[in-house]
Amino acid sequence: MNYFGPGHGACPGCGLTIATRNVLEALEGKCFVANSTGCLEIVSSQYERSAWGVPYIHSLFENAGAVAAGIDLALKALKRKGEGKVVVFAGDGATADIGIGTLSGMFDRNHDVIYICLDNEAYQNTGNQQSGLTPLGSNTTTTPVGELFPGKMGRKKDMVSIAVAHGIPYVATASVAFHADLRRKVKKAAEIEGAKYIQIHSPCVTGWGIDGKQTILSAKLAYETALYPIVEYENGELTRVRKIKERKPVEEYLKIQRRFRHLFKHPKGKEIISMLQKIADENAAKFNLDV
> Segment 212-241, which members bind another protein (CB under 8 A)?
212-217
Q: d(Cα 1, Cα 112) in Å, to the nearest integer?
A: 25
2 by Cβ neighbours in 10 Å (0-12 / 13-18 / 19+) ranks as exposed
Among 75, 94, 189, 204, binds another protein (CB under 8 A): 75
Contact 127, 87 (CB under 8 A): no
Q: How far is the CB of 109 from another protein (least distance, A)?
A: 6
Q: How far is the CB of 272 from another protein (least distance, A)?
A: 28
Give the residue from 240, 95, 87 showing the smallest Cα distance to 162: 95
> Segment 168-207, which members bind another protein (CB under 8 A)?
176, 179-180, 205
Q: How far is the CB of 198 from another protein (least distance, A)?
A: 17
The answer to the question of residue 256 lying near another protein (CB under 8 A) is: no
> Segment 8-27, which members bind another protein (CB under 8 A)?
8-10, 12-15, 17-18, 21-22, 25
The answer to the question of residue 79 lying near another protein (CB under 8 A) is: yes
The answer to the question of residue 41 lying near another protein (CB under 8 A) is: yes
The answer to the question of residue 110 lying near another protein (CB under 8 A) is: no
Among 38, 39, 40, 74, binds another protein (CB under 8 A): 74
Among 23, 39, 40, 69, binds another protein (CB under 8 A): 69
Phi then psi dihedrals of residue 196, to 5 deg: -125, 145
Give the residue from 8, 61, 17 showing the smallest Cα distance to 38: 61
Q: Give the CA angle between residues 248, 200, 16 to the nearest 5°.
A: 110
Separation of CA 254 from chain center = 19
